[in-house]
Amino acid sequence: MKRQHTKNRTCCILLAASFLCVFSLPDRIFAAEDNITEHLSSDIVFETIPVLNSFNEDLVFTITQDSYGYFWFGTNNGLAKYDGIKTTIFKNDSSNPASLPGTSVQSLACGSDGTVWIGTNNGLCRIDSATNQISVLSGQSQSGCNINSISASDISVDASGNLWIGTWDNGLIYYNISNSSVREFSSKTGFNLTSDHVWDICISRNNLIWFGTDDGTLACLLPENENLTIYNYSPNNTSGLPENRSINSLLEDNTGNLWFGTDGGGLIKFNTGNSTFTQFKLGLSVSSSVWDIILDSKGILWLATFGNGLVKFDLATDTYTHYKADSISEYGLKDNTIYSIFQDQDNQIWLSTRYAGIQKFKYYDHGLDIVTILNEDGNPIRESITAIITAPNGTVWIGTDGFNLIRYETQSDLFRRYIYNAPIGQYIDNDFISSLAIDKRGNIWMGTYSGNLIGFCPETEDFINPNLGAQEIDSVSVTSLLYSFEKDILWIGTVSGTICSFNPQNFEFVNYWQEYGISMHSRIEQIINYGPNNLLLKTAGNLYNLNLSQHAIQPINNLPPNISKSEIMAIYLAGEKIWLCADKIYCLDLNLRLIFDLDVIQDYRIYNCTQFGTGIIWLQTSKGIAKIDQYEESISYYNLNVNWTYDALSNNFCFIDDNRLIIGSRNILMMVYTPNITQSNIPSQLILNSILAGTSMLPASVTNNNEINLSYKQNYLEFNFVLLDYLDSTHNVYAYKLEGFDSNWRYTDSTQPQAVYPDLPVGHYTFRLKAMNSEGLWTNTETLFNFKIDAPFWNEPWFYILCLAGFTGLVEIIVLSRTRYISQQNRKLEILVYNRTKALQREILRQKKIRSALNEQIRRRKALINSLVHELRTPLTPIIGSSEILLEKLEGDARLYRVAKNISSAAESMNQRIRDLVDSAKSEIGMLKIEKRPVDIQEFMSNLQDYLGTCACIKNQTFKFEISPDPQNIAIDEDRFRQVMINLINNSMKFSPSGSQIEITAGPENERWHVSVKDQGCGIEQKYLGKIFKPYFCINSANRDSQGMGLGLYIANQIIKLHGGRIWAKSEFGQGSEFIIDLPMDRK
């Protein structure tokens, strides 16, 4: 059915008629069933703003955009500020005087300095857009009207920056912002107004104040003389103001005429030149209201209505178009009640709806045509468009995933659907058309998901079955088709990587895997003619060159090194150039050498490219389309506010004619008239929201100014920024560079619009910032911030100089003081050295005298000892000799023998005491010496045992020897050690009772020799154990048999020390004593 453009509605026409034609020709194997399908049409893409979904529960009364570019939304629950990514909410807080004075924001106006004026249901306030600081207005008129309690329905700012306020019950109010004076124009102050409820205000070019009231009155105020002109409805005045219930909105057009929307009266034009009124009903019902009006940059009026959606009114032709809520199209209007309408700095139009929140669109005059294909029941077809191709006559053929072929006649605007009836044995359940091709006879060829190839003859409307089943095509999906007109060959690519050829005239079929063993083993996504005997095959991750004459396949490995084959999304051959779409657009010659490349917007995907005519390449992007001018080597993006789904890939994009592109996605066709598609304005509202230096927040005014100084403690810099471009804020790209620190530009996106420098060194810096919107347009100026991080005072040159001077002075003082101190100390030291030298000389002299005296004493002592020994030993010698003779002679006379024995024993005892006395004297003067040599300790003990055997019988005592059986040699002075042992054993015999036993043990212990002599005598008291090894110490005891000189243990201790050992005693009084000798195991 033909699409109609009428004044009633051109965006959503449901076609009322549908019919079914069934062809059942007997000479055909397959039947075709064709249906004329309905469709919906629109020339606008409405986009719902997801980030503002919170407004679905709020009523957005008013929309504005400040001089910085921020959007402001006044709602019944407060105020919202929107930067394209995030929303900041402001509400009334009775405890905070710097909050909104009322709960509902009913009107907004912007000043040129970034101030936003806010009218609420309980007073007015202003907010600084840069700082978000709110200030409540105050002031009172002479009539008692208090500005902070009025309910403001509209605000306008005049050329002087003062406010004109429409109120609910105080008429029109003038507010002077410099002195806070208030002037009320209402029936209460003597002005001839029949209603004090002013809905809307319009300040004309000649500074007249026009306003409309809720009873349908139009008023004009001349501010200079406060002259008020009233226009009311009068049934007797046919050229006067038409009947209406309320004037809701006012607007002045480019010719100075007024347009205002009413309740029940439609749209009214007031010719200010001749004071005549013209009414335009616009097909609106009597109960419908025009709530808001804007005049766009193309001279078109857009009307927001209550219950009748959006109305477009062309002033040049006085024609109108209705756009109503469309629940079918994903790109349609979502609500018929629109409270407010606003055109932004990029010429996008924003709508606030009752139930659908905020929507926006960009109007391309005769640039877009969006068609939703419907079923016979008026609902969208459930199938998705999977392939599109255009015939030379302009007919568009569409394949779907429901295995339907749809014919679209663009001239007559008719759709017809052809349903394929498969014969028995051919599987098409869940099958869909994956690709399309047209041969030179005009037949349509369809490759399917299940591996079938089906033809269709448009002339006879018959389906063609070449009897190619899934078995011939390898039982896999057909992914791509290419028809070669020169060879009359249809090339077939499959998901498994098999390439096949098919002759549409004689149905000759060749499977290159079965015939030549050629397969790419990966999904063939595109087939391209690459010379007379070559095909270029793109697979999932690789490129191949198929030589048809040699039946050989070779992977292409000679691409420029910066091109990754796995990232290539699409390939297009145009003349002598090959276009590769990947992370960049690459233009290559036929030898695969790079000619130039073009950047792709971050996160954009390039699905397909095509060409109609020469010079211009068109791309299908993830957000719309793009155009490459290959002569200027430039790319232009056109954001169509769409989100192509995965099914909108390379088979869904083609030209209808020289100027019309067609794109399929889901159940929607989008036709683009390329000459009328324009880019947005160059974005200029790039704002540094905040600059954090250390812990201090810097004001926004520091940007683009002279250099500011920051302390060394402020070397942490955080820049937060936003590009106020609302075409598609999620794809904005930011580039920043800190000169003096960064060598290259850094990039970030809308998910993290900030730059952080955590630890900057001292120096001069310039922060440069620019941004690119979703259409690839960069801001025409850079935002700059010049700053210097000062060095800490201890790093400043003056501080170094001061420190150097101070250090030099300090060193000089220290040197002088030290020199003086050293001189004093030298003098003191000289005196001390002199005195010490004298004392030392005296001491040396004294020591010499002492040494001389000692030497003399030692000499005399040695002479005395020698004399004493000589004097004592001289008489002892004949006594000892005589006694030995007597013992031999008197052996038979017991009495005389005993006398001789006593004489001999006494003489021997005297001789031993003389030896002890000599040894003691030698020890005291250091003359006691030993001569160590290796001695067999077992033999030594054995000889000692033999010697003691004759002594023990005197007191009937016994000896017990426990000697280590291991043969051991230790280095000792055998005579001196025997002297020690005999001394210890004699003491034990002397102080032990008759019949007692004396134990002598000897053996190694911990790498040393231990010798012990243990008796059963009277023992030694503990208090004497530390004294017994001192010279001349004797223990007086009545129990002792005899007393010595007290030198035996002293001499034994000295001898053991000379051996490097030690001797000690253990004893308990009355329990006997044990003397222990510890010697080093020295064998040398």
Is the pLDDT assigned to residue 37 strictly greater than 60?
Answer: no
In a domain, 104, yes or no: no
Q: Identify the CATH number of the domain in which residue 352 sits.
A: 2.130.10.10
Looking from the CA of 691 toward its CB, the CA atoms found within 13 Å total 20
Q: Are 837 and 951 within one domain?
A: no
Q: How many domains does the chain contain in total?
A: 5
In a domain, 18, yes or no: yes
Mark residue 947 as left, alpha or beta (left: phi above 0; alpha: psi -120 to 50; beta: remaining). alpha
Looking from the CA of 713 toward its CB, the CA atoms found within 13 Å total 3
Is the pLDDT assigned to residue 4 strictly greater than 50?
Answer: no
pLDDT computed for residue 90 by the predictor: 94
pLDDT computed for residue 684 by the predictor: 65
Q: Are 1017 and 940 within one domain?
A: yes
Categorize the per-residue pLDDT at 718 as very low, low, confident or very high, splitting at 50, 70 and 90. very high
Is the pLDDT assigned to residue 364 strictly greater than 60?
Answer: yes
pLDDT computed for residue 313 by the predictor: 93
pLDDT computed for residue 379 by the predictor: 73
In a domain, 527, yes or no: no
d(CA 905, CA 884): 10
d(CA 76, CA 121): 9
- Domain of residue 483: give its range: 1-43+366-522
Q: Are 320 and 201 within one domain?
A: yes
Tens-place pLDDT, residues 307-329: 899 999 998 888 898 998 887 77
Please give the C-alpha separations between residue 336 and each of 23, 310, 377, 859, in angstroms, as whole numbers: 43, 7, 23, 140
The single-letter DSSP state of residue 423 is P
Tens-place pLDDT, residues 656-700: 887 888 888 777 888 888 888 877 766 768 888 889 999 998 876
d(CA 179, CA 3): 61
Categorize the per-residue pLDDT at 473 as very low, low, confident or very high, splitting at 50, 70 and 90. low
H or E segment and range at residue 978: helix 974-991
Last residue of a domain, one of 768, 795, 822: 795
Is residue 769 within 8 A of residue 688, CB to CB? The reply is yes
Q: Are 209 and 353 within one domain?
A: yes
pLDDT computed for residue 396 by the predictor: 92
In a domain, 847, yes or no: yes
The values of phi and psi at residue 1062, to 5°, are: -145, 160
H or E segment and range at residue 149: none
Q: Identify the CATH number of the domain in which residue 504 sits.
A: 2.120.10
Higher per-residue confidence, 92 vs 897: 92
d(CA 791, CA 692): 19
**Terminal-residue alpha carbon distance, the chain:** 130
Q: Are 826 and 709 within one domain?
A: no
pLDDT computed for residue 685 by the predictor: 81
pLDDT computed for residue 496 by the predictor: 87
pLDDT computed for residue 807 by the predictor: 87
Which range has the worst mean pLDDT, 550-564, 707-721, 879-893, 933-947? 879-893
pLDDT computed for residue 370 by the predictor: 79
Structure tokens at 1078: 């510890």
Is the pLDDT assigned to residue 483 strictly greater than 60?
Answer: yes
Crossing angle for the helix pair 937-952 and 974-991, to the nearest 10 degrees = 40
Is the pLDDT assigned to residue 991 strictly greater than 90?
Answer: no
Higher per-residue confidence, 383 vs 61: 61
d(CA 892, CA 900): 12
Structure tokens at 292: 């808001």
In a domain, 569, yes or no: no
In a domain, 124, yes or no: no
pLDDT computed for residue 179 by the predictor: 93
Please give the C-alpha separations between residue 195 and each of 175, 219, 406, 507, 755, in angstroms, as whole numbers: 20, 11, 60, 84, 55
Is residue 1010 within 8 A of residue 1056, CB to CB? The reply is no
Which range has the worst mean pLDDT, 455-459, 491-495, 577-581, 942-946? 942-946
Categorize the per-residue pLDDT at 857 as very low, low, confident or very high, splitting at 50, 70 and 90. confident
* Strands of 91-222, DSSP E: 105-110, 115-120, 123-128, 134-136, 152-157, 163-167, 172-176, 181-185, 198-203, 209-213, 218-222
Is the pLDDT assigned to residue 285 strictly greater than 90?
Answer: no
Q: Identify the CATH number of the domain in which residue 721 sits.
A: 2.60.40.10
pLDDT computed for residue 647 by the predictor: 43
pLDDT computed for residue 661 by the predictor: 87
Q: Are 811 and 754 within one domain?
A: no
Q: Are 31 and 154 within one domain?
A: no
- What mean pLDDT, rounded, does the chain reach? 83
Is the pLDDT assigned to residue 429 strictly greater than 60?
Answer: no
Q: Are 1004 and 938 within one domain?
A: yes
Last residue of a domain, one of 739, 767, 795: 795
Higher per-residue confidence, 380 vs 246: 246
Q: Are 416 and 330 within one domain?
A: no
Is the pLDDT assigned to residue 76 strictly greater than 70?
Answer: yes
Mean pLDDT over residues 403-409, rounded? 87
Is the pLDDT assigned to residue 177 strictly greater than 70?
Answer: yes
Q: Identify the CATH number of the domain in which residue 987 sits.
A: 3.30.565.10
Categorize the per-residue pLDDT at 22 as very low, low, confident or very high, splitting at 50, 70 and 90. very low
In a domain, 546, yes or no: no
Burial class (CB in 10 A: 0-12, 13-18, 19+), 279: middle
Categorize the per-residue pLDDT at 416 as very low, low, confident or very high, splitting at 50, 70 and 90. confident
Tens-place pLDDT, residues 131-169: 899 999 999 998 889 999 999 999 999 999 999 999 999
Is residue 115 within 8 A of residue 129, CB to CB? The reply is yes
Is the pLDDT assigned to residue 351 strictly greater than 90?
Answer: yes
**Residue written as tokens 């029109």?**
172
Last residue of a domain, one of 760, 776, 795: 795
Is the pLDDT assigned to residue 1040 strictly greater than 60?
Answer: no
Mean pLDDT over residues 822-830, rounded? 88
Categorize the per-residue pLDDT at 950 as very low, low, confident or very high, splitting at 50, 70 and 90. low
Which range has the worst mean pLDDT, 19-33, 36-50, 844-858? 19-33
In a domain, 999, yes or no: yes
Is the pLDDT assigned to residue 15 strictly greater than 60?
Answer: no
Tens-place pLDDT, residues 219-273: 999 999 999 999 988 888 766 788 878 999 999 999 999 999 998 888 999 999 8
H or E segment and range at residue 511: strand 509-511
Burial class (CB in 10 A: 0-12, 13-18, 19+), 45: buried
Q: Are 858 and 829 within one domain?
A: yes
Categorize the per-residue pLDDT at 648 as very low, low, confident or very high, splitting at 50, 70 and 90. very low
Categorize the per-residue pLDDT at 919 as very low, low, confident or very high, splitting at 50, 70 and 90. confident
Tens-place pLDDT, residues 518-539: 888 888 989 998 888 899 999 9
Q: Are 886 and 934 within one domain?
A: no
d(CA 359, CA 361): 7
Is the pLDDT assigned to residue 930 strictly greater than 70?
Answer: yes
Alpha-helix runs per DSSP H in 465-554: 512-516
pLDDT computed for residue 57 by the predictor: 60
Q: Are 883 and 1031 within one domain?
A: no
pLDDT computed for residue 6 by the predictor: 26
pLDDT computed for residue 952 by the predictor: 60
